[in-house]
Amino acid sequence: MTAVFQILVGLLILCGSAFAAVAALGVLRLPDLYSRMHAASKAGAVGSSIMLIALMLATDQPSEVLRAIGAIIFFLLTAPISAHLLARAAYLVGYPMWKGSVLDEMPDTARKKHYGPDLQGAKVSQSATDLGAT
Amino acid sequence: MSVEDLASLFLELSLRLSLVLLGAAFLMTVLRIWKGPTLADRVLGLDVLTSIAIGFIAVVAIDTGFTLYVDIAIALGLVGFLATVAFARFILTQGEAEEHRGDALPLAGDLPGSDGPFEENEAR
Protein backbone atom coordinates (compact mmCIF):
# COMPACT_ATOMS: atom_id res chain seq x y z
CA MET A 1 0.00 0.00 0.00
CA THR A 2 1.55 3.26 -1.07
CA ALA A 3 1.65 6.41 0.99
CA VAL A 4 -1.08 8.11 -1.00
CA PHE A 5 -3.45 5.20 -0.49
CA GLN A 6 -2.66 5.10 3.22
CA ILE A 7 -3.48 8.77 3.69
CA LEU A 8 -6.65 8.40 1.59
CA VAL A 9 -7.79 5.38 3.61
CA GLY A 10 -7.12 7.22 6.85
CA LEU A 11 -9.13 10.23 5.75
CA LEU A 12 -12.04 8.05 4.58
CA ILE A 13 -12.07 6.13 7.85
CA LEU A 14 -12.09 9.34 9.87
CA CYS A 15 -14.87 10.78 7.71
CA GLY A 16 -17.02 7.65 7.96
CA SER A 17 -16.65 7.25 11.70
CA ALA A 18 -17.41 10.95 12.18
CA PHE A 19 -20.62 10.44 10.18
CA ALA A 20 -21.52 7.43 12.34
CA ALA A 21 -20.82 9.34 15.54
CA VAL A 22 -22.93 12.30 14.39
CA ALA A 23 -25.76 9.91 13.50
CA ALA A 24 -25.61 8.34 16.95
CA LEU A 25 -25.49 11.77 18.58
CA GLY A 26 -28.57 12.76 16.61
CA VAL A 27 -30.37 9.59 17.65
CA LEU A 28 -29.54 10.36 21.25
CA ARG A 29 -30.29 14.07 21.32
CA LEU A 30 -33.04 14.92 18.83
CA PRO A 31 -36.50 15.46 20.32
CA ASP A 32 -38.92 13.09 18.57
CA LEU A 33 -38.95 9.88 16.55
CA TYR A 34 -39.14 11.49 13.13
CA SER A 35 -36.18 13.81 13.58
CA ARG A 36 -34.19 10.94 15.11
CA MET A 37 -34.99 8.91 12.02
CA HIS A 38 -33.79 11.83 9.90
CA ALA A 39 -30.40 11.61 11.62
CA ALA A 40 -30.14 7.84 11.66
CA SER A 41 -31.14 6.68 8.22
CA LYS A 42 -29.09 9.18 6.23
CA ALA A 43 -25.93 9.76 8.24
CA GLY A 44 -25.74 6.15 9.40
CA ALA A 45 -25.91 4.72 5.89
CA VAL A 46 -23.35 7.21 4.56
CA GLY A 47 -20.97 6.53 7.44
CA SER A 48 -20.82 2.78 7.03
CA SER A 49 -20.69 3.11 3.22
CA ILE A 50 -17.67 5.42 3.44
CA MET A 51 -15.90 2.99 5.76
CA LEU A 52 -16.59 0.14 3.31
CA ILE A 53 -15.12 2.28 0.50
CA ALA A 54 -12.01 2.71 2.65
CA LEU A 55 -11.86 -1.08 2.99
CA MET A 56 -12.10 -1.35 -0.81
CA LEU A 57 -9.06 0.92 -1.18
CA ALA A 58 -7.08 -0.74 1.59
CA THR A 59 -7.33 -4.35 0.50
CA ASP A 60 -5.47 -5.85 -2.46
CA GLN A 61 -7.69 -8.89 -3.06
CA PRO A 62 -10.36 -8.54 -5.77
CA SER A 63 -12.82 -10.72 -3.87
CA GLU A 64 -12.77 -8.33 -0.92
CA VAL A 65 -13.36 -5.39 -3.25
CA LEU A 66 -16.37 -7.14 -4.77
CA ARG A 67 -17.76 -8.00 -1.35
CA ALA A 68 -17.39 -4.42 -0.20
CA ILE A 69 -19.14 -3.15 -3.36
CA GLY A 70 -21.96 -5.64 -2.81
CA ALA A 71 -22.34 -4.60 0.80
CA ILE A 72 -22.45 -0.89 -0.16
CA ILE A 73 -25.05 -1.44 -2.88
CA PHE A 74 -27.18 -3.59 -0.60
CA PHE A 75 -26.93 -1.11 2.24
CA LEU A 76 -27.80 1.89 0.08
CA LEU A 77 -30.79 -0.03 -1.33
CA THR A 78 -32.22 -1.21 1.97
CA ALA A 79 -31.62 1.75 4.31
CA PRO A 80 -34.26 4.04 2.71
CA ILE A 81 -36.79 1.20 2.50
CA SER A 82 -36.52 0.29 6.15
CA ALA A 83 -36.59 3.93 7.23
CA HIS A 84 -39.68 4.56 5.09
CA LEU A 85 -41.50 1.52 6.46
CA LEU A 86 -40.72 2.44 10.06
CA ALA A 87 -41.73 6.08 9.60
CA ARG A 88 -44.93 5.06 7.80
CA ALA A 89 -45.90 2.63 10.54
CA ALA A 90 -45.17 5.16 13.27
CA TYR A 91 -47.07 7.95 11.50
CA LEU A 92 -50.12 5.79 10.76
CA VAL A 93 -50.28 4.47 14.28
CA GLY A 94 -50.09 8.06 15.50
CA TYR A 95 -46.81 8.59 17.25
CA PRO A 96 -46.77 12.26 18.25
CA MET A 97 -44.49 14.85 16.72
CA TRP A 98 -42.37 17.17 18.76
CA LYS A 99 -44.44 20.12 19.95
CA GLY A 100 -41.99 22.50 18.28
CA SER A 101 -42.75 21.05 14.85
CA VAL A 102 -44.12 23.71 12.53
CA LEU A 103 -46.00 21.58 9.97
CA ASP A 104 -47.87 18.31 9.82
CA GLU A 105 -48.70 17.86 6.15
CA MET A 106 -51.30 15.15 6.66
CA PRO A 107 -52.91 15.76 10.05
CA ASP A 108 -55.67 13.22 9.53
CA THR A 109 -55.75 12.20 5.86
CA ALA A 110 -53.14 9.48 6.31
CA ARG A 111 -54.94 7.88 9.22
CA LYS A 112 -58.27 8.18 7.42
CA LYS A 113 -56.84 6.45 4.39
CA HIS A 114 -55.49 3.74 6.62
CA TYR A 115 -58.42 3.23 8.94
CA GLY A 116 -61.25 4.12 6.55
CA PRO A 117 -63.25 7.38 6.33
CA ASP A 118 -64.84 7.03 9.76
CA LEU A 119 -61.71 5.72 11.51
CA GLN A 120 -63.39 2.36 12.02
CA GLY A 121 -60.66 0.10 10.74
CA ALA A 122 -62.42 -0.90 7.52
CA LYS A 123 -59.29 -0.95 5.38
CA VAL A 124 -56.86 -2.12 7.99
CA SER A 125 -56.11 -5.56 6.63
CA GLN A 126 -55.83 -4.31 3.05
CA SER A 127 -53.34 -1.62 4.02
CA ALA A 128 -51.35 -4.12 6.04
CA THR A 129 -50.96 -6.34 2.99
CA ASP A 130 -49.97 -3.26 0.96
CA LEU A 131 -47.20 -2.62 3.43
CA GLY A 132 -46.03 -6.18 3.13
CA ALA A 133 -45.98 -5.98 -0.67
CA THR A 134 -43.80 -2.88 -0.48
CA MET B 1 11.13 10.79 8.74
CA SER B 2 10.16 9.88 5.20
CA VAL B 3 6.80 10.30 3.55
CA GLU B 4 6.01 6.58 3.89
CA ASP B 5 6.57 6.66 7.65
CA LEU B 6 4.37 9.71 7.97
CA ALA B 7 1.60 8.08 5.95
CA SER B 8 1.61 4.87 7.98
CA LEU B 9 1.68 6.89 11.21
CA PHE B 10 -1.33 8.88 10.00
CA LEU B 11 -3.15 5.66 9.12
CA GLU B 12 -2.46 4.19 12.57
CA LEU B 13 -3.62 7.37 14.26
CA SER B 14 -6.81 7.63 12.23
CA LEU B 15 -7.59 3.95 12.87
CA ARG B 16 -7.35 4.49 16.63
CA LEU B 17 -9.37 7.71 16.49
CA SER B 18 -12.10 6.12 14.37
CA LEU B 19 -12.35 3.18 16.76
CA VAL B 20 -12.83 5.68 19.59
CA LEU B 21 -15.52 7.53 17.61
CA LEU B 22 -17.33 4.30 16.76
CA GLY B 23 -17.23 3.20 20.38
CA ALA B 24 -18.76 6.53 21.42
CA ALA B 25 -21.44 6.05 18.74
CA PHE B 26 -22.18 2.57 20.13
CA LEU B 27 -22.57 3.98 23.63
CA MET B 28 -24.86 6.83 22.54
CA THR B 29 -27.08 4.47 20.54
CA VAL B 30 -27.30 1.97 23.39
CA LEU B 31 -28.28 4.83 25.70
CA ARG B 32 -31.12 5.73 23.32
CA ILE B 33 -32.27 2.10 23.19
CA TRP B 34 -32.20 2.00 26.98
CA LYS B 35 -34.09 5.26 27.44
CA GLY B 36 -36.78 4.43 24.90
CA PRO B 37 -39.30 6.07 25.29
CA THR B 38 -41.30 4.19 22.62
CA LEU B 39 -40.88 0.94 20.75
CA ALA B 40 -40.18 2.73 17.46
CA ASP B 41 -37.26 4.59 19.06
CA ARG B 42 -35.75 1.28 20.13
CA VAL B 43 -36.20 -0.22 16.66
CA LEU B 44 -34.50 2.83 15.17
CA GLY B 45 -31.66 2.43 17.67
CA LEU B 46 -31.21 -1.19 16.63
CA ASP B 47 -31.05 -0.09 12.99
CA VAL B 48 -28.34 2.45 13.79
CA LEU B 49 -26.50 -0.15 15.85
CA THR B 50 -26.41 -2.47 12.83
CA SER B 51 -24.91 0.20 10.58
CA ILE B 52 -22.33 1.14 13.21
CA ALA B 53 -21.38 -2.53 13.55
CA ILE B 54 -20.85 -2.77 9.78
CA GLY B 55 -18.53 0.24 9.93
CA PHE B 56 -16.73 -1.30 12.90
CA ILE B 57 -16.16 -4.50 10.93
CA ALA B 58 -14.71 -2.50 8.04
CA VAL B 59 -12.33 -0.63 10.35
CA VAL B 60 -11.20 -3.83 12.05
CA ALA B 61 -10.63 -5.44 8.64
CA ILE B 62 -8.41 -2.53 7.59
CA ASP B 63 -6.58 -2.53 10.92
CA THR B 64 -5.75 -6.22 11.20
CA GLY B 65 -6.06 -7.40 7.58
CA PHE B 66 -8.50 -10.02 8.83
CA THR B 67 -11.17 -9.68 6.16
CA LEU B 68 -13.23 -12.73 7.10
CA TYR B 69 -15.78 -10.60 8.91
CA VAL B 70 -16.84 -8.69 5.79
CA ASP B 71 -19.17 -11.58 4.95
CA ILE B 72 -20.65 -11.22 8.40
CA ALA B 73 -21.14 -7.50 7.73
CA ILE B 74 -23.21 -8.32 4.64
CA ALA B 75 -25.28 -10.84 6.57
CA LEU B 76 -25.70 -8.34 9.39
CA GLY B 77 -27.06 -5.76 6.97
CA LEU B 78 -29.54 -8.30 5.63
CA VAL B 79 -30.72 -9.37 9.06
CA GLY B 80 -30.97 -5.77 10.27
CA PHE B 81 -33.11 -4.81 7.28
CA LEU B 82 -35.44 -7.77 7.77
CA ALA B 83 -35.70 -7.05 11.49
CA THR B 84 -36.62 -3.43 10.85
CA VAL B 85 -39.29 -4.43 8.32
CA ALA B 86 -40.75 -7.00 10.71
CA PHE B 87 -40.76 -4.52 13.58
CA ALA B 88 -42.46 -1.91 11.40
CA ARG B 89 -45.29 -4.33 10.67
CA PHE B 90 -45.45 -5.20 14.36
CA ILE B 91 -45.75 -1.52 15.29
CA LEU B 92 -48.56 -1.12 12.76
CA THR B 93 -50.58 -4.07 14.06
CA GLN B 94 -49.94 -3.16 17.68
CA GLY B 95 -51.16 0.38 17.07
CA GLU B 96 -54.33 -1.03 15.54
CA ALA B 97 -54.81 -3.17 18.59
CA GLU B 98 -54.47 -0.10 20.80
CA GLU B 99 -56.85 1.84 18.57
CA HIS B 100 -59.60 -0.76 18.88
CA ARG B 101 -58.96 -1.79 22.44
CA GLY B 102 -62.52 -0.92 23.40
CA ASP B 103 -64.15 -3.62 21.31
CA ALA B 104 -61.48 -6.24 21.87
CA LEU B 105 -61.20 -8.60 24.79
CA PRO B 106 -60.38 -6.84 28.07
CA LEU B 107 -56.78 -6.91 29.22
CA ALA B 108 -55.77 -8.53 32.47
CA GLY B 109 -55.63 -5.18 34.23
CA ASP B 110 -59.17 -4.27 33.17
CA LEU B 111 -60.75 -7.33 34.72
CA PRO B 112 -62.50 -6.87 38.05
CA GLY B 113 -60.54 -8.12 41.02
CA SER B 114 -57.12 -7.21 39.66
CA ASP B 115 -55.17 -4.44 41.28
CA GLY B 116 -54.80 -1.68 38.75
CA PRO B 117 -53.77 -1.41 35.12
CA PHE B 118 -51.17 -3.67 33.62
CA GLU B 119 -48.72 -0.86 32.94
CA GLU B 120 -48.08 -0.30 36.62
CA ASN B 121 -46.71 -3.77 37.01
CA GLU B 122 -44.14 -3.18 34.30
CA ALA B 123 -43.10 0.31 35.37
CA ARG B 124 -39.86 0.48 37.31
Mean pLDDT of A98-105: 79
Q: Identify the band that residue A121 occupies on the pLDDT scale cut at 50, 70 and 90.
A: very low
CB half-sphere exposure, B103, CA atoms < 13 A = 5
Of B29, B67, B88, the CB nearest to A59: B67
Q: Is A129 exposed, middle or buried (0-12, 13-18, 19+ CB in 10 A)?
A: exposed
Which chain A residues are closer than 8 Å to B10 by Cβ?
6-7, 10
Q: In terms of CA atoms, which chain A residue is nearest residue B46?
A: A40
In this prediction, does ipTM exceed 0.85?
A: no
Mean pLDDT of B87-107: 65
- pLDDT > 90: percent of chain B: 46
CB half-sphere exposure, B60, CA atoms < 13 A = 15
Residue by residue, DSSP assigns A66-134 as HHHHHHHHHHHHHHHHHHHHHHHHHHHHTPPPPTT----S-SSHHHHHHHTTTTS-TTHHHHHHHHHH-
| Res A112: pLDDT | 54
Residue A126: pLDDT over 50 = no
| Res A127: pLDDT | 47
Which chain A residues are closer than 8 Å to B99 by Cβ?
93-94, 115, 121
Residue B123: pLDDT over 50 = no
CB half-sphere exposure, B55, CA atoms < 13 A = 36
Cα A79 to Cα A22, B54, B61, B63, B77, distances in angstroms: 17, 13, 23, 26, 9
Residue A123: pLDDT over 80 = no
Give the span between the Cα atoms of B107 and B111, in whole angstroms: 7
Q: Are B25 and A20 inside 8 Å of each other by CB?
A: yes
Greatest mean pLDDT among A79-93, A95-109, B84-98 lies in A79-93
Which chain B residues are closer than 8 Å to A41 by Cβ?
47
Question: DSSP class of residue B113?
Answer: T
Tally of residues, chain B:
124
Mean pLDDT of B25-35: 93
CB A23 within 8 A of CB A39: yes
Give the span between the Cα atoms of A63 and A61, in whole angstroms: 6
pLDDT in tens, A44-69: 889 999 999 999 988 888 888 999 99
Average pLDDT, chain B: 80
